[in-house]
Amino acid sequence: MKEVVIATENTGKFHEIKVLLGSEFDAFYSLRDFSEKIVVSEDSPFYIENAMKKARKAGDRFGLHTIADDSGLEVEALDGRPGIYSSRYGKDDADRISKLLNELEGVPWDKRKAVFKAYLAFYMPDKERCYVFYGDIHGTIGFERHGEGGFGFDPVFYIPEIGKYAAELNIEEKNRLSHRGKAVLALKSFLNMDFFKNSRVLSL
Ligand code: IMP
């Protein structure tokens, strides 16, 4: 049986990743499925290192293939903030959004450009190998909240290519367009590459 841990406590992230990889694994676990808590201090200034650190720690602890992502929102008018500190920018999603809208008060539409970035690490503890995949999505921070779906900054992230806010997308649309969706699809292609599937060194 092919099992995988998605090393997150965030149910929004867990579902987005699980939906895309449904055909690749037989069982998915999030960190909420284990009584032992995995604490990782995301102390690197680089998303890629934090993603690998999370994947390695959970993978080594549970002895299962593990996926971990580190992501963030970089706002041009804020010189790339909150970026790597996105999850620590406020105490919860509502607080983070209020803070962002306050910081951008008076900033006109064409100066509110932003990008979400995601680094997704896939770690195989048995092989001690870790691969990392990247995705991004460009948009604009709106003046107020729109939509009920998604999580995090989704209600204020407008996506010009579809003409909707991220929180207005269904899960299929979000996964097709989003930073995390793109990174997960890159992982999926990798898992389906012949060299990976056939190789005795790397096979799942
Ligand atoms: P981390 O990757 O768990 O460190 O958290 C990244 C933070 O960036 C989240 O807590 C959200 O605030 C924000 N974020 C990352 N991806 C998304 C997304 O797809 N939608 C909205 N907010 C996101």
Which residue's CA is minimally distant from atom 23 of ligand 1?
152
87 Cα: distance to centroid of ligand 1 (angstroms): 6
Kindly list the structural domains of the chain, giving each domain's residue range(s) and its CATH number in brackets, ordered by start.
3-197 (3.90.950.10)
> What was the pLDDT predicted at 184?
96
> What was the pLDDT predicted at 202?
46
Task: Name the packing angle between helices 179-191 and 11-21 (round to 10°).
Answer: 40
As a whole number of angstroms, the distance between CA 119 and CA 142 comes to: 25
Entry pTM: 0.93
As a whole number of angstroms, the distance between CA 48 and CA 46 comes to: 5
> What was the pLDDT predicted at 193?
82
Task: Give the Cα-Cα-Cα angle 116, 122, 124 (nearest 5 degrees).
Answer: 165
Q: Do residues 191 and 171 lie in contact, with contact meaning Cβ atoms separated by under 8 Å?
A: no
Give the residue ranges of DSSP H helices in the chain.
11-21, 47-62, 93-103, 171-177, 179-191, 194-198
What are all long-range contacts of 157-164, with beta carbons under 8 Å and residues at least 24 apart? 157/73, 157/114, 157/116
131 Cα: distance to centroid of ligand 1 (angstroms): 21
Residues with CB under 6 A from ligand 1: 42, 69-73, 86-87, 96, 116, 150-154, 166, 178, 180
Q: Which atom of ligand 1 lies closest to the CA of 50?
A: 4
25 Cα: distance to centroid of ligand 1 (angstroms): 24
As a whole number of angstroms, the distance between CA 146 and CA 11 comes to: 20
Q: Do residues 157 and 141 lie in contact, with contact meaning Cβ atoms separated by under 8 Å?
A: yes
Nearest to 168 by CA among 145, 189, 194: 145
Q: Which candidate in 60, 70, 95, 110 is catalytic?
A: 70
195 Cα: distance to centroid of ligand 1 (angstroms): 33
As a whole number of angstroms, the distance between CA 14 and CA 106 comes to: 35
Q: Tell me whether residue 126 is one of the annotated catalytic residues.
A: no
Peptide bond connecting 82 to the previous residue in cis, omega within 30 degrees of 0? yes
pLDDT tens, position by position, for the chain (204 residues)?
Answer: 899 999 999 998 899 899 999 989 999 999 999 999 988 888 899 999 999 999 999 999 999 999 999 999 999 999 999 999 999 999 999 999 999 999 999 999 999 999 999 999 999 999 889 999 999 999 999 999 999 999 999 999 999 999 999 999 999 999 999 999 999 999 999 998 876 666 554 444
* b/e 18-29 (16+ beta carbons within 10 angstroms → b): bebbeeebeebb
